[in-house]
Amino acid sequence: MNVRETPGPPPTPPTDGPIGGSPPPTRRPKGRFSRREERAVTILCAVYALRIVGLYMVLPVLSPYAASLRGSTGLLTGLAVGAYGLSQGVFQIPFGSLSDRIGRKRAIVFGLSLFAIGSAIAGAATTAVALVLGRLVQGMGAIASVVVALAADLTREQVRTQTMARIGVWVGGAFAVGMTVGPFVAGVVGIPSLFWATAVLSALGAIQLVVAVPEPRRRRQRSDGRRGTSEERLRTGDVRFLLAQRPLLLLDVGTFLLHLTLTVIFVVLPFVFDAEFGPGRIGRAVVPIVVVGLGAMVLAARYTDRTGRSSRVFLVGGALFLVACIVLAIGGTTGAGAVAGLGVFVLAVACLEPTLPALTTRFAVGPHRGAAMGVFHMAQFLGSFVGGLVGGAALGGSLLLPFLLLGGLVAVWLVAARSLAPWAGLVEDN
């Protein structure tokens, strides 16, 4: 008599873990770039970085140069540094609409062309007003949100957060390179030549974009089925909704304060460095600090990639940001205090510049992710503009007062932003 065998449990499906039956990892594995995505994102980051390098080459030496031009005042000196941010913030939404009509690549090329024209105007300027005009035209090429949209069009949803984080790292690296190279180049060829070099870099970026970055295979469809308006760029109606989301609002305030402080520093501190170390020697103070900051940024990026815990890097950066403001408020008018404060601030930038946009993409709901990045960039650029106004006002009064006020604002923001850490942990685990 044949005995019917009782069926056993179904076989265990194979896992990606080591042989021996070890359980699969509890955290969902991160998506990886395909070769096509890797190439497209890398080239797109390089195009954007060329523009950023040109922008930051002039930053350490711009305010003393603006003050030396005919018709200069403290306000115009501050505007020469910060006016770029005003036009960048104002033109983010129009450029997003333009990219929907004529395509991402054409919109970026047009923006790079405006940036090059503004650089040429600034390079030829002989008055402070003309320099401010050139900086305003530079900012009219507001391609930040369009670059994000094109990156989103060329990548899958699974690697979108990594894409935004990589853009942030490239921007941080471009910041470091520009700040390092700029003072030395300015000392050799003069500051107007930096603007002309910026125009050339913009042209090279446009050529690289046209030749090497592929067109998206298809335009994204919105959730309502309509074509032509990407969910990855900013629209006017999105701003109020996104500012009502507390995590996103805190991140927007963070980047606003960071770039406000950055601009104030580079309006005020070049005069301190000139007084302490001699005219044209700012590079001796800035370059070692920026090199250390670049190394810190690489370490922070590696830690974030390896552990996925960008919230920890974010909190460390926030604490360093507060310490930098305190140091500058106490001793920012002395050579040692200015160097120490700038050094701590650069370390804060190394932590916050990559993590702030990465956390923004994590907290944003899928259909609003690109719009959230648009608001983020608007806050960033408007911070630069307000920083120019504040720094220009400080030149006619107390150089330390802005850092004292910023320290108070950063302290309040940091206390509120600590609540992001557990939320970020949940997002990173999912």
Quickly list DSSP for 111-158.
HHHHHHHHHHHHHH--BHHHHHHHHHHHHH---HHHHHHHHHHTS-GG
Fold classified for 37-215+233-429: Growth Hormone; Chain: A; (1.20.1250)
Domains of the chain: which residue ranges?
37-215+233-429
Residue whose C-alpha is closest to residue 386's, from 272, 270, 257:
257
User: What residue has token string 């030829």?
Assistant: 124
pLDDT in the model for residue 65 = 93
pLDDT in the model for residue 80 = 93
The pTM is what? Answer: 0.78
CA 123 vs CA 9, 30, 65, 79, 193: distances in Å: 76, 46, 11, 16, 7
Cβ–Cβ < 8 Å for 183, 287: yes
At 28, the amino acid letter reads R
Compute, in degrees rounded to 10, the torsion defined by CA atoms 220, 221, 227, 231: -70
CA 153 vs CA 157, 160, 232: distances in Å: 10, 10, 8
227 beta partners: 221
pLDDT in the model for residue 239 = 65
Low-confidence stretches of the chain (pLDDT beneath 70): 1-31, 161, 217-240, 243, 280, 304-305, 307-309, 365-370, 420-430
Cβ–Cβ < 8 Å for 256, 52: no
